[in-house]
């Protein structure tokens, strides 16, 4: 992986201006919705905006003190997406539901967690010390929904939630962060071994059998999620994070090919052995068949209704608050992309996709600028996680691939998804700050002035003297 030169300027004022623009987008969307139901500019209207703006400005203030060189685009992009999601979820609320206010509360909690991460995690390389602990934590988080007593049971065909008090929580959303830490830590340590060892067959450099361990573990974990939790989306996401990370670490196509073959073999076996996977694939392939559309289990009703809704929106949409996205099941969560497609049209949907593309690009930009291999891989894995999640859910809603139960980051209703994604944003901000800040010049002396013991702990193969000096700060 090659590094890039970055402009060493804080750019916090640029971030503030973009944040104001993000608030304007959110207020505009909420106003359009409020004008339809007569709630515009009431006390609830301003409270909803304050629940987004105040913690967002608090993150901005913390960045000025603790990470002033962080990427100035990441936070405004996320606030824009979160604000649009809140407006749409409020718009889809009925007198019997309160998804909008629940999402607003989770937004505040997620932003507070992001502030905590930026404040306390000043050096992302500390996470490398928890490489194998992260693997254990990931396994525990993934197993929790299967533990009697705390499991919330099967909801909408998947067993991925636990019950905490009166609420449900999806531990797998947090596990995608810890698994990214493990992959980054493992591959940054063993990258050279993977690159140099192995047998070459033609143009393919195949890894040694004993180096296949992490890939086999990731494959088994993905298949386990599919078999025991019936969660196709999270299964694809976990294995996709690993494949993308190992490809970025090694630049070897052979690993990516091997990974895709393993994933394809697992998906084929699951479709043959598991009825719910077979029904889902059949619903995807034959969505417009009357028999598939009308059956009680594995019906294509949801995806077809979403496609009709987006077709009704056309190029410019029906206008926020003027469509009928409520006719689509789970229009506020799994199918919120279809809701936006109907009311904002193809243009609005493209704008949202563009925001996601820009967010993922800034994440990879932080990875390129990072001065340590762990930071590069962690930023890449987290960016890939967001990109893959967006691709899987939008691909499912538009019938490019089978529909899964993943949420659209920051847009769809879902507290655990919102918390996890705000933590990912905080980590990307921390890494981008390390990537963009000026490089220190000077002797290799630890902060405590007692030689290079601390430096030795953090030193990594291939570091330059300048990079090692930065580690001691």
What pLDDT band is residue 93 in, cutting at 50, 70 and 90? confident
Across the strands, what pairs with 169? 162
What pLDDT does residue 206 have?
Answer: 67
- Single pTM value for the model: 0.87
CB 131 within 8 A of CB 114: no
Say whether pLDDT at 2 is over 90: no
Q: What is the mean pLDDT of residues 305-310?
A: 92
Whole-angstrom CA distances from 285 to 232, 395, 443 are 16, 14, 64
Tokens of 215: 């890939």
What pLDDT does residue 336 have?
Answer: 92
Q: Which residue has the tokens 């996977």?
A: 277
Q: Alpha-carbon distance 88 to 92, whole Å? A: 6
Whole-angstrom CA distances from 324 to 79, 230, 331, 350, 376 are 26, 30, 10, 20, 44
Task: Give the alpha-carbon dihedral of 304, 308, 310, 313, to 10 degrees.
Answer: -170
Say whether pLDDT at 332 is over 50: yes
**What kind and span of H or E run contains 201?**
strand 199-201
CB 407 within 8 A of CB 354: no
Q: Alpha-carbon distance 209 to 214, whole Å? A: 11
What pLDDT does residue 470 have?
Answer: 41
User: Taking the domains of the chain in order of start, what are their residue ranges?
Assistant: 11-436
What pLDDT does residue 36 have?
Answer: 77
Question: Of the ranges 65-79, 124-138, 159-173, 268-282, which is most confident?
Answer: 65-79
Say whether pLDDT at 382 is over 70: yes
- 222-259 tens-digit pLDDT: 667 766 767 777 778 888 888 888 888 877 777 778 77
- 23-74 tens-digit pLDDT: 999 999 888 888 877 777 777 888 888 999 999 999 999 999 999 999 999 9
What pLDDT does residue 457 have?
Answer: 41
Whole-angstrom CA distances from 163 to 48, 172, 211, 294, 301 are 27, 14, 38, 32, 29
Say whether pLDDT at 81 is over 70: yes
Say whether pLDDT at 411 is over 80: yes
Q: What percent of the chain has pLDDT over 90?
A: 36
Q: Alpha-carbon distance 189 to 184, whole Å? A: 9
What pLDDT does residue 131 have?
Answer: 87
What pLDDT does residue 31 have?
Answer: 87
> DSSP labels for 306-355?
HHHHHHHHTTT-S-TTSS-GGGSTTTTTTTHHHHHHHHHHHHHHHHHHHH
What pLDDT does residue 459 have?
Answer: 43
Say whether pLDDT at 118 is over 90: yes
Q: Which residue has the tokens 């769809």?
A: 412
Say whether pLDDT at 75 is over 90: yes
What pLDDT does residue 35 have?
Answer: 81
Lowest mean pLDDT among 193-197, 243-247, 452-456: 452-456
Q: Is 361 exposed, middle or buried (0-12, 13-18, 19+ CB in 10 A)?
A: middle
What pLDDT does residue 467 have?
Answer: 43
Lowest mean pLDDT among 145-149, 303-307, 388-392: 145-149
Whole-angstrom CA distances from 463 to 263, 373, 467, 468 are 35, 9, 6, 6
Largest CA distance in the chain: 76
Say whether pLDDT at 138 is over 80: yes
Task: Give the alpha-carbon dihedral of 380, 383, 386, 389, to 10 degrees.
Answer: -30
Cβ burial 192-203 (10 Å sphere, 16+ → b, else e): eebeeebeeeee
What pLDDT does residue 442 have?
Answer: 55
């Amino acid at each position: 992986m090659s590094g890039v030169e970055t402009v060493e300027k804080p750019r916090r004022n640029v971030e503030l201006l973009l944040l104001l623009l993000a608030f304007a987008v959110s207020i505009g969307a909420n106003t359009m919705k409020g004008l339809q139901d007569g709630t515009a500019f009431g006390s609830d209207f301003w409270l909803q905006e304050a629940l987004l703006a105040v913690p967002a400005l608090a993150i901005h203030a913390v960045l000025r003190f603790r990470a002033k060189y962080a990427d100035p685009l990441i936070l405004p992009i996320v606030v824009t997406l979160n604000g649009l999601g809140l407006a749409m979820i409020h718009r889809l609320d009925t007198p019997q539901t309160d998804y909008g206010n629940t999402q607003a509360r989770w937004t505040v909690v997620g932003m507070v967690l992001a502030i905590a991460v930026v404040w306390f995690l000043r050096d992302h390389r500390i996470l490398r010390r928890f490489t194998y602990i992260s693997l254990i934590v990931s396994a525990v988080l993934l197993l929790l929904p299967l533990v009697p007593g705390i499991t919330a049971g099967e909801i909408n065909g998947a067993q991925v939630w636990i019950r905490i008090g009166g609420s449900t929580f999806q531990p797998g959303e947090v596990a995608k962060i810890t698994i990214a830490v493990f992959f980054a830590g493992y591959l940054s340590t063993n990258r050279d071994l993977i690159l140099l060892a192995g047998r070459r067959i033609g143009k393919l450099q195949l890894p040694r059998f004993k180096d296949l361990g992490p890939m086999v573990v990731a494959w088994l974990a993905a298949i386990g999620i599919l078999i025991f939790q019936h969660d196709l989306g999270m299964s694809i996401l976990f294995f996709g994070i690993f494949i993308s990370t190992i490809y970025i670490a090694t630049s070897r196509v052979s690993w990516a090919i091997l990974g895709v073959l393993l994933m394809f073999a697992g998906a084929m076996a699951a479709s043959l052995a598991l009825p719910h996977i077979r029904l889902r694939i059949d619903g995807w392939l034959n969505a417009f068949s009357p028999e598939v559309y009308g059956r009680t289990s594995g019906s294509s009703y949801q995806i077809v209704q979403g496609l009709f809704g987006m077709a009704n929106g056309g190029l410019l949409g029906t206008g926020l608050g003027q469509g009928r996205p409520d006719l689509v099941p789970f229009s506020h969560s799994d199918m919120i992309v279809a809701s936006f497609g109907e009311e904002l049209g193809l243009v609005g949907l493209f704008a949202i996709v563009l925001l996601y593309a820009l967010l993922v690009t800034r994440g990879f930009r932080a990875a390129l600028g990072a001065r340590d291999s762990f930071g590069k891989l962690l930023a890449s894995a987290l960016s890939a996680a967001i990109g893959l999640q967006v691709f899987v859910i939008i691909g499912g809603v538009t019938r490019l691939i089978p529909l899964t139960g993943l949420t659209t980051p920051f847009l769809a209703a879902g507290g655990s998804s919102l918390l996890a994604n705000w933590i990912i944003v905080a980590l990307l901000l921390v890494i981008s700050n390390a990537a963009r800040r000026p490089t220190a010049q000077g002797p290799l002396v630890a902060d405590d002035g007692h030689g290079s013991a601390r430096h030795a702990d953090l030193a990594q193969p291939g570091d330059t003297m300048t990079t090692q000096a930065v580690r001691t700060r």
